[in-house]
Amino acid sequence: MLYDIIFVTGEIYFDHPLSGTAMLKRWLEKHNFKVGIIEKPAKREEVTKLGKPKLFFGVTSGAIDSMVRNYTPLKKLRINDKNLKYNEEVPDRAVSVYSNWIKQNFKDAKIVLGGTEASLRRFTHYDYWENRLRKPLLFDTKTDIIAYGSAEKQILEIANKIKKGESLEGIEGTCIISKTAPETFKILPSYDDVVKDKSKFVEMQNGLTNYRNLAQKIDNRYLLQYKSPIYTSKDLDEYYGLPFTRNVSSPHLNGFEFSMITHRGCYGDCSFCSLKLMQGSKVVSRSEESILSEIKHITKMKHFKGNIDDLGGPSVNMYGTDCNKCEKSCIDCKQLNRTNEKLIQLLQKARKIPGVKKVYVRSGIRYDMATPEYVKELLTYHTSGTIKIAPEHVTPKVLKLMNKDKGDLDNFIKIAGDKNLTYYFMLCHPGASIKEDKELADKVKTLKNNQHIQLFTPTPMTDSTCMYYTGLNLNMKKIHVTYTYKDKKIQKNLTMKKTNLIK
């Protein structure tokens, strides 16, 4: 078969709405494009097995940056850690590797980059694994265009434009290289400026957003970002209503087959999280009708045993709090609906569907936005034991740098009950010295359930990574940063021993 588009992905492909590649494939097929998939190629020759596409190759490492996937926070190969049972086969800098393989075999093929790795390396970025700034990925790979974020609207417009032989300029939600920068674009500090001056890197970071046209000079050319298109509930209903088989062939994907997404985006704007530069800092929820219809479809599937494995999304209890009236932070808005009413209503209707025994909520919730009524609903009907929350830290100084200084953790523990909670915390975040992480350890020691404690990993384009690289907060004030492996291990070991999580 001669394909119009061929996706090359670093992940196992499965025809399911939780697979970004599958979502794009189904969407393009609905519009009469023929789409092929090459999953996890291990060598150059494997990208040729479907031939050359008529329009373009789409390249992604998947939902996780390949360097984050392959290395621990201390830069050790995960594959060498016997405790992790790591079995991935994704090359370092997979997007670049796959793109180079394609160019070596098909010199004139158009290449469209997408997914997390490409989206979060679209501007000059700090690379933790090389400990230096790197140019935007389009300049490193010499490819044609990046479709950042979820990209359903972008990929369809790209396909149509290439089919018609039209320019790829001006497509919302994409990045291209240009000789000039339009006057209407906001100009970020140049590559040369941010390399020479760390305060310029902070200035650049403060200018990053999905909602503006941006330009950054790289040598004698410009990286142009066209603002993200607006996605609506109607759009999401259409995407998640596509005819996925939901077939999951790999045991590594157990738990995904009967899991569902309720919404996209998150207005929490956590400093260490990349979501605001992927899905955006506004919530877009699917309609209740769309979600319940998907559950009804699942109940008719051959292998369904009665349990929805997870009904959620980023910050589960943000479902139904959609607002797109301005660019200001929703979480600080007095008009934000914090009742959880729409979500409670959805859960009540979902569990009454014939054939459904249990609807689990395994994704994490924002404890600062969880009402007592919602907590009661979860604990009574929708957990397999505990509710997952991510306080991340406990000291005010670190929480403010994380942008996690909302809510009252102790009060929420009283509402939900310590025994009903599982906690996620982070060590060595910028601003956290041994003193602050000792305070965290002291708090964790008082909590009943085993806690998930991880070391901070600087990932491209996040605010926290900017702080890590520059030693400055976003207001240009100096902060403590734990840089050396030795100091990171001291903080980790001290904290873990203090909490009895390691012997």
Domain boundary residue among 202, 225, 248?
A: 225
> What pLDDT shows up at residue 86?
59
Mapping DSSP to helix (H, G, I), strand (E, B) and coil, where does residue 288 land? helix
User: The CATH number of the domain where 261 resides is what?
Assistant: 3.30.750.210
What was the pLDDT predicted at 502?
A: 45
Domain that residue 165 falls in: 5-225
* Distance (Å, whole) CA 443 – CA 368: 18
Same domain, 275 and 161: no
Rounded percentage of the chain residues whose pLDDT exceeds 90: 84
| 408-419 pLDDT, tens digit each | 999 999 999 999
What is the pLDDT at residue 302? 87
265-276 tens-digit pLDDT: 999 999 999 999
99 touches 80 (CB < 8 A): no
Mark 377-392 as b/e (b = at least 16 C-beta within 10 Å): bbbeebbeebbbbbbb
Element spanning 221, H or E: strand 221-225
Alpha-carbon span 8 to 95, nearest angstrom: 9
Last residue of a domain, one of 384, 418, 449: 384
The pLDDT score that the predictor gives to residue 133 is 98
- 3-state percent breakdown (helix, strand, coil) of the chain, nearest 5: 35, 15, 50
State whether 204 and 318 are in the same domain.
no
Residue 282: pLDDT over 50: yes
What is the SS3 string spanning 420-483?
HEEEEEEECCCCCCHHHHHHHHHHHCCCCCCCEEEECCCCCCCHHHHHHHHCECCCCCECCCCC
Please write the tens of the pLDDT for every residue from 122-146: 999 999 999 999 999 999 999 999 9
Cβ-contact 322, 233 below 8 angstroms: yes
Tens-digit pLDDT profile for residues 158-192: 999 999 999 999 999 999 999 999 999 999 999 99
pLDDT at 382 over 50: yes
**Residue 32 burial by Cβ neighbours in a 10 Å radius (0-12, 13-18, 19+):** exposed
pTM: 0.94
In angstroms, rounded to a whole number, what is the distance separating the alpha carbons of residues 218 and 296?
51
Contact 178, 139 (CB under 8 A): no
Return the amino acid letter for 162. I
> 317 with 211, same domain?
no
Band (pLDDT 50/70/90 cuts) for residue 388 is: very high
Residue 293 pLDDT > 80: yes
Reading phi first (left if > 0) and then psi (alpha if -120 to 50, else beta), residue 173 is in left
Q: Which sign, positive or negative, has the C-alpha torsion 480, 485, 487, 493?
A: positive
Question: If DSSP codes are grouped into helix, strand and coil, which group holds residue 62?
Answer: coil
Q: Residue 279 above 60 pLDDT?
A: yes
Element housing 214 (H / E): strand 214-218
Residue 223 backbone phi and psi in degrees, to 5: -90, 120
| 363, 310 contact by CB (below 8 A) | yes
Q: Is residue 217 domain-shared with residue 247, that is, in the same domain?
A: no
CA dist., res. 126 & res. 121, Å (int): 9
pLDDT at 104: 96
Tens of pLDDT, residue by residue over 487-503, are 998 888 877 665 555 43
3-class DSSP assignment, residue 163: helix
Assigned token pair, 324:
């797109």
Residue with tokens 């309609």: 287
| Residue 84 pLDDT grade (very low, low, confident, very high; cuts 50, 70, 90) | low
Q: Do residues 365 and 463 both lie within one domain?
A: no
pLDDT digits (tens, 9 = 90+) for 416-466: 999 999 999 999 999 999 999 999 999 998 998 877 899 999 999 999 999
Domain count, the chain: 3
DSSP-based three-state secondary structure for 317: helix
Express each pLDDT in 325-343 by its tens digit: 777 788 888 888 899 999 9
Long-range contacts from 296-299, C-beta under 8 angstroms, 24+ separation:
296/353, 298/246, 298/258, 298/260, 299/353, 299/354, 299/355, 299/356
123, burial (CB in 10 Å: exposed 0-12, middle 13-18, buried 19+): buried
At residue 452, the pLDDT reads 87
| pLDDT above 70 coverage of the chain, percent | 97
Letter for the amino acid at 438?
K
Mean confidence (pLDDT) of the chain: 93
| Mean pLDDT in residue range 477-485 | 96
pLDDT tops 80 at residue 249: no
Segment 44-77, tens digit of pLDDT? 999 999 999 999 999 999 999 999 999 999 999 9
236 and 369 share a domain?
yes
Confidence of residue 478 (pLDDT cuts 50, 70, 90): very high
Identify whether residues 303 and 322 lie together within a single domain. Answer: yes
**Average pLDDT of the residues in 179-206:** 98
Examine the domain organization and report whether 190 and 98 are in the same domain.
Answer: yes
Model confidence pLDDT, tens digit, residues 391-412: 999 999 999 999 999 989 999 9
Asked if residue 336 and residue 301 are part of one domain, the reply reads yes
Q: Which two structure tokens, joined as six digits, stand for 1?
A: 């078969």
Last residue of a domain, one of 320, 350, 384: 384
